[in-house]
């Protein structure tokens, strides 16, 4: 498998997800740090590569791939093991629903550009911005707990690791950074504690990235 180039930011949840996915698939990759704190994603050079001016972006096999879940799908087609979704329709739909609860319902409301807009354009205090983050994160995680608990085993869906697990760990990392209460999420916190010990997840941790500071 040829080397890939991942454009990412060390604390980006979506970038964290893709680092985990690449590690699980055993795909070697180089990193190009795009520092969101200094708006490096908005430079003309980066916009020419990715018009959305977001991270992550994966360059692989001559392709430029964006959106973390779309990248998961591409990686699944390239490397079959481990699969990120079950093959049967009902379990597959459930795993996708769990992953999308994070990627579509929690994360978009709480990513850096939204929090910045609340503070700089709408004039909200840092206290108000932090309260916004915790509210939407707690609400989304409570729903994820309820959705996952009935079918959870070692992982969020039974005993098969899936893209739902890949989405969980970065979201809980950022939830803790903003002091979001996690006491009422026994399923999520149990599985997160196990996952973070796995080499593919541990190596993807923000603190392990060269650009972390």
CA 78 – CA 66 distance, rounded (Å):
16
Spatial neighbors of 96 by CB under 8 A, at least 6 apart, are 85, 163
Give the pLDDT confidence score for residue 1 in this predicted structure: 46
Give the pLDDT confidence score for residue 100 in this predicted structure: 98
Residue pLDDT, tens place only, 51-72: 999 999 999 999 999 999 999 9
Whether the Cβ atoms of residue 188 and residue 145 lie closer than 8 Å to each other: yes
CA 140 – CA 37 distance, rounded (Å):
25
- Token pair for 202: 């541990």
- Token pair for 65: 């791939």
Q: Could you write out the DSSP letters of every residue in 119-179?
A: HHTS---HHHHHHHHHHHHHHHHHHHHHHHGGGBSSSSSBTS--HHHHHHHHHHHHHHHTT
Alpha-carbon dihedral angle through residues 73, 79, 85, 89, given to the nearest 10 degrees: 90
Rounded to two decimals, what is the model's pTM?
0.96
Question: Which parts of the chain have pLDDT scores under 70?
Answer: 1-2, 213
- Residue 61 C-beta-side C-alpha neighbours within 13 Å: 9
Give the pLDDT confidence score for residue 2 in this predicted structure: 52
- Token pair for 101: 């609860």
- Token pair for 53: 């001016």
Whether the Cβ atoms of residue 171 and residue 145 lie closer than 8 Å to each other: no
Whether the Cβ atoms of residue 102 and residue 144 lie closer than 8 Å to each other: yes
Residue pLDDT, tens place only, 131-161: 999 999 999 999 999 999 999 999 999 999 9
Candidate CATH numbers 1.20.1050.10, 3.30.470.10, 3.90.660.10, 3.40.228.10; the one for domain 89-200: 1.20.1050.10
Whether a cis peptide bond, with omega within 30° of 0, leads into 56 is yes
Alpha-carbon dihedral angle through residues 134, 135, 136, 142, given to the nearest 10 degrees: 90
- Token pair for 67: 């959106």
Q: Tell me: domain 4-82, CATH 3.40.30.10, correct? A: yes
For residue 16, how many other CB atoms are within 10 A of its CB?
27
Please state the domain extents for the chain: 4-82, 89-200
């Amino acid at each position: 498998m040829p080397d890939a180039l991942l454009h990412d930011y060390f604390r980006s949840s979506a970038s964290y997800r893709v680092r985990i996915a690449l590690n699980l698939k055993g795909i070697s990759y180089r990193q190009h740090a795009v520092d969101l704190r200094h708006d490096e994603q908005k430079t003309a050079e980066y916009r020419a590569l990715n018009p959305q001016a977001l991270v992550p972006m994966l360059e692989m096999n001559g392709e430029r791939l964006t959106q973390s879940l779309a990248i998961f799908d591409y990686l699944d087609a390239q490397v079959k093991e481990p699969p990120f979704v079950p093959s049967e329709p009902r379990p597959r739909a459930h795993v996708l629903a769990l992953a999308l609860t994070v990627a579509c319902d929690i994360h978009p409301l709480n990513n850096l550009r939204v929090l910045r807009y609340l503070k700089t354009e709408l004039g909200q205090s840092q206290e108000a911005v932090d309260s916004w983050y915790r509210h939407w994160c707690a609400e989304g995680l409570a729903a994820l707990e309820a959705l996952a608990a009935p079918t959870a085993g070692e992982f969020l869906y039974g005993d098969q690791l899936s893209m739902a697990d890949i989405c969980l760990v970065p979201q809980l990392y950022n939830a803790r950074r903003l002091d979001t209460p996690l006491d009422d999420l026994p399923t999520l916190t149990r599985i997160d504690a196990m996952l973070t010990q796995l080499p593919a997840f541990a190596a993807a941790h923000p603190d392990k990235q060269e650009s972390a500071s």
